[in-house]
Amino acid sequence: MTPQDTLDQRHSTGVIESDDSGAVRHSASKIRIRESLAVTLALVGGIAVLIGTNNIPLRGTGELGPRFWPALLGWGIVGLSVLLVTTNVLPARTSQDTPSPMTRYGATQLILTFGVLLAYLSLFNVITLWLITFVTVALLVLLYGFRGWKVLILFPGIIAAVLHILFVVLLRVPLG
């Protein structure tokens, strides 16, 4: 297959062919579910924009006032979402740039990472930057399954030192 064919065939119907390892294969029903989700989110977003637009105060600015452009965009999103039903959902068509499948392990890591990052953020300006960075990086290192003093002490130490020197000392960011 030439690269031009690759470009041409990024848009496929029904089943996505498996790659060399045979890992990726999506049935028409799976594609429909995924595309329906995309349509739903876009539609909800478009309607939310339209509702929000009605709450913008009008002070005699007429048709071309502050509501004009957001309303145009809201209707645009709604119209395009409906169009997406006919182009992607009904024929079960999707781009071949489909991302790799999620893993349970990856999802757990993601949620825990987010928890650690939110805790890190909540301690900005409370505890000195190098210390919270050291603890955060060490926690993430543990979370991703690395063990041993080098990765648990040396790696977080280097990251904390670099951040402290760059942001606190050189850029004078008020982060303790």
Partner 1 sequence: MTHFLEMLGPSLVTANAVLDGFSIILQLDTLLYIGLGMLVGMLVGAFPGVTATMAVALAAGFTMTMEPMQGLAVLLTIYVAAQFGDRVPAILINTPGTPASISTTFDGYPLARQGKAGLAMTVSAFGSAVGMLVGIVLLAVIAIPLARFAREFGPPELFALVVFGLTMMIGVSSGRIIKGLIAGCFGLFLATVGRDPVSGDARFTMDILELNSGVPFIPVIIGLFGVAEVLNQMLTHNKNITQTKPISQLGQWWPDKKTSKSLIKPTAVGAATGSVIGLVPAVGGDISGIIGWDNARRVSKEKEKFGKGSLEGLMAGDTSTTTTLGGSVTTTMALGIPGDSVMAVLIGSMMIWGIQPGPALFSSNPSMVYSLVAILTVATLLSLAVSLLRMKSMVKLLELNQAYLWIIILVFCMVGTYSINNSVFDVVVMLLMGIIGLVMLRLDFPAGPTVLGLILGPLAEANLRRTLIGGGWESFLSSPIAMILFIISAAALLFPPLREMSRRRKAEVGEKGKFSANVP
CB of 25 within 8 A of CB of 18? Answer: yes
Q: How far is the CB of 102 from partner 1 (least distance, A)?
A: 5
Cα angle: 37, vertex 8, 10; to 5 degrees: 30
CB of 155 within 8 A of CB of 139? Answer: no
Cα 174 to Cα 59, 124, 130, 159, 161, distances in angstroms: 42, 10, 12, 18, 16
Beta strands per DSSP E along 24-135: 93-95
Q: How far is the CB of 101 from partner 1 (least distance, A)?
A: 7
For position 121 contacting partner 1 by CB under 8 A, the verdict is yes
For position 150 contacting partner 1 by CB under 8 A, the verdict is no
CB of 109 within 8 A of CB of 146? Answer: no
Which of 24, 33, 113, 152 is close enough to bind partner 1 by CB under 8 A? 113
Binding mask 124-143 for partner 1 (x = CB under 8 A): xx---x---x--xx--xx--
Which of 32, 88, 89, 92 is close enough to bind partner 1 by CB under 8 A? 88
Q: How far is the CB of 35 from partner 1 (least distance, A)?
A: 8
For partner 1, give the closer residue by CB, 28 or 42. Answer: 42
For position 146 contacting partner 1 by CB under 8 A, the verdict is yes
Which of 102, 147, 149, 169 is close enough to bind partner 1 by CB under 8 A? 102
Site for partner 1 in 45-84 (CB under 8 A): 45, 49, 52, 56-57, 59, 61, 64-66, 68-70, 73-74, 76-77, 80-81, 83-84
3-state secondary structure of 147: coil
Cα 85 to Cα 33, 36, 145, distances in angstroms: 11, 7, 42
Which of 33, 42, 47, 152 is close enough to bind partner 1 by CB under 8 A? 42
CB of 57 within 8 A of CB of 95? Answer: no
